[in-house]
Amino acid sequence: MTENNGQLKSLGLLLCCLAFTSAVRVQMPGKIIRGELEQALKYVMRQLRILLLIASRNIKKKWNKSFVEAKNKKRYNKVIKNVEKVA
């Protein structure tokens, strides 16, 4: 899971860099204009927020799943112990 998180972070960073450079190139072929640079930065930040939201949802789903599995295993072990006591 940590490998996936690392890959996701590096992919997100790479996408942000690519989006920023492409937005700057498209909007400013010759000069760097402050307003357009801010617009490009806003676009990149919006894309980054979307990536982080998707990543956090995936991590939350995996964490909840493992938590439920652990809880079920604990219940199963209790039942097994009770059955062994009776038997």
What confidence tens digit (pLDDT) does each residue in 75-85 have?
Answer: 777 777 777 67
pLDDT value of position 44: 77
pLDDT value of position 1: 47
CA distance 24 to 27: 5
pLDDT value of position 69: 77
pLDDT value of position 74: 78
- Tell me 22's DSSP state: H
Per the structure, how many domains does the chain have? 1
What confidence tens digit (pLDDT) does each residue in 8-66 have?
Answer: 666 666 666 666 665 555 555 555 556 666 777 777 778 778 877 777 777 777 777 77
CB distance 62 to 1 below 8 Å: yes
pLDDT value of position 78: 77
CB distance 55 to 8 below 8 Å: yes
pLDDT value of position 40: 74
- Domain housing 22: 2-86
